[in-house]
Amino acid sequence: MIDYARDDDGVVTLTMDDPTQSANTMNAAYVTAMTAAVDRLYAERDQVTGVIVTSAKKTFFAGGDLPTMARATADDAPALFELLSTIKRDFRRLETYGRPVVAAINGAALGGGLEVALACHYRIALDTPGTRLGFPEVTLGLLPGAGGVTRTVRMLGLTPALTTWLLTGRRLRPSDAVTNGLLDAVASTPAELVALAREWIVANPEATQPWDRPGYRMPGGTPASRSTAAQLPAFPATLRQQLKGAALPAPEKILATAVEGAQVDFETAQIIETRNLITLLTGRIAKNMIGALFFDLRAVNGGLARPNVEVTEPARRVAVLGAGMMGAGIAQACARAGFDVVVKDVTPELAARAAGPGITTTADVTDLAGCDVVIEAVFEDPAVKRDVFAEVLPVVAPDALLASNTSTLPITGLAEGTDRPADFLGMHFFSPVARMPLLELVAGARTSDATVARAFDLGRRLGKTPIVVNDGRGFFTSRVIGKFLDEAIGMLTEGVPAPSIEHAALQAGYPTGPLALADEVSLTLVQRIRVQFEAADSGFVRLPAHALVDAMVDDHDRPGRGAGRGFYAYGEGKRSGLWEGLAAMSTTAGRAVPLDDLKDRFLFAEALDARRCLAEGVLRTAEDGNVGSILGIGYPAWTGGVLRFADQHADFDGRARELADRYGARFEPA
């Protein structure tokens, strides 16, 4: 696991290289190997002038052993404490070795990898496109528990450590990591990386960590200092504001670990950090988040739902039909991924809206000749979509992949407008395309496996996470998020105050309140989608929420944020507060609804429909549902995804029946 090599100058290079994995992790093999390496360093100290810690992998160190972490229970707490104590003991022995120790970071150093580097006296990173440094633990419901919190706070001070590194989950490029204090230098080549490390060792034979030097003072002061003490009350208030009231244990534990650890000596701070990490590791929320954002995400990106079909001719030239916001975003994503992109609209002026590096814009269909991918992103009208495909099909490559960026219209019906339904599928991008990582691939009744495989590979080349679902109105994401919006708007008709609705969703962990989200989507679009659903389904059940949306759009002319008026009022493009007329929109006398009921109505409405999607075959895999719900429609990450929430709930069906008794049969579990 760790190769130990001492040269003629007495410099020992510890090269981490796990033979069983493509990346180094903090597994049992690492722990044993690091202990042995440090033992040998101490045994040979008289012959050692310095130490370089590096990696033989493409990355430096990938972090903790998540498969082991995910299995941890309360019964494992003593063993976990011993394991973490061993890791920290070896780090402490390394940084107090009495010889300069340099981390030569040749790739990504995230989580545990950054903690390895922090136990060294000096850190140099190779400036490659994939090199990132950071603590992503908070995004998995954990905290950096191998000294990450303790050392970062002592190196930078409480405020920078928390706001830049520990609470954000940010992954910084080397230059940004230097600016923000955890990296000392950047190398442009592997040879320079080693040379800089050796130069620093020669120049700093008596290197120590800042906190081990006489007279050390924590940057910004400890909580006992007057300036920091004055700021302390704002820390939890700011965190609560950032979390929008959601009760998430990992950020809270990180804050507690940092502040409490800053008030005690280094070793005691390490113990506080260990205990708080074990509390998170053995809890339910971390398991949910690791399950979705590590295991499920890895499975989805690895092609769990991708048909086992070899694609011999990868896509090269992409035609995007429509230069609106979505079309322009898709074109830019394709251009950034290295595709030759042509954007067509009805006039040169409209097409020019999508202009950018690597993008040709046109109103002439003949400019699409040879395109082997067509992505349509025009108005959500089946007739319009069929017309644009009919125009371009005679021009593009005869075997071109044909995709519609519709969010709700059934793909099977759209494909009937072409003579190549086997090559046709839905590619539902999410707005804004540049930021949203999800891509929903929708297979119609006649879409071939080869087409799905080609689209999946295209999505991965775009840097997206592609989930694969089967056809059905609204597919998976739009259908399920519709339940979220219907439930919120239905609460308005019941007389639940609008601020209570928004706050309940935020406290449940949703990133945006549902009324604000409806304004962003536009109430006009919400209305149009519902009308389409209603026209296609003879058994469609009208809800009070539907009548309220009709009243907002048709009677009160409040179609959403784009028009500057919806559930919210707007000034200069920004929300200025909830519309004062909402209170009069209730159709029944207001009643007090417990906060827990409000939160669960959101969570259960979506989870129940996701279960139906899986049972009906709209969802092909539960993993797609979990990942799609978090990355695509903002289902709270602490749940581990919409289907995991149902599976891990102590009494999901019982609670659903309770909600059904109080609020309606839509909550009856199948």
State the catalytic residues.
115, 137
Specify the residue for token string 């706070």.
Answer: 153
- For the chain, the distance separating the N- and C-terminal CA atoms, rounded to the nearest angstrom, is 50
Separation between Cα atoms, residue 470 and residue 370, nearest integer Å: 29
DSSP 8-state secondary structure symbol assigned to residue 164: I
Consecutive H or E run containing 52: strand 50-55
**CB environment 388-411: b (16+ within 10 A), e (fewer):** bbeebbebbbeebbbbbbbbbbbb
Which helix (H) or strand (E) segment holds residue 145: the answer is none
| 3-state SS track over 278-306 | HHHHCCHHHHHHHHHHHHHHHHHHCCCCC
Asked if 421 contacts 446 with a C-beta cutoff of 8 angstroms, the reply is yes
Reported as type and span, the H/E element at residue 540 is: none
User: In a 10 Å sphere around its CB, with 0-12 CB exposed, 13-18 middle and 19+ buried, how is residue 7 labelled?
Assistant: exposed
Q: Residue 650: how many CB atoms within 10 A of its CB?
A: 7
* Residue found under tokens 């590979």: 457
Distance between CA atoms of residues 319 and 167, nearest Å? 41
Six-digit token string for 412: 């099977």
CA distances to 338, 340, 362, 406 from 333, in Å: 9, 11, 18, 17
Residue pair 429/329 in contact by the 8 Å Cβ criterion: yes
What DSSP element (H or E) covers 484?
helix 477-493
Measured from the Cβ of residue 39, the count of other Cβ atoms closer than 10 Å reads 12
Question: Given the structure tokens 């071939």, which residue do they identify?
Answer: 448
Q: What totals of helices (H) and strands (E) does the chain contain, helices first?
A: 28, 21
What beta strand segments (E) does 513-583 contain? 568-571, 574-578
Neighbours of 435 (CB within 10 A): 8
Q: CB neighbours of 274 closer than 8 A, spacing ≥ 6?
A: 81, 84, 85, 88, 145
Two tokens, residue 285: 């929320």
Quick one: tokens of 269? 């701070």
Cα–Cα dist 258/168, whole Å: 14
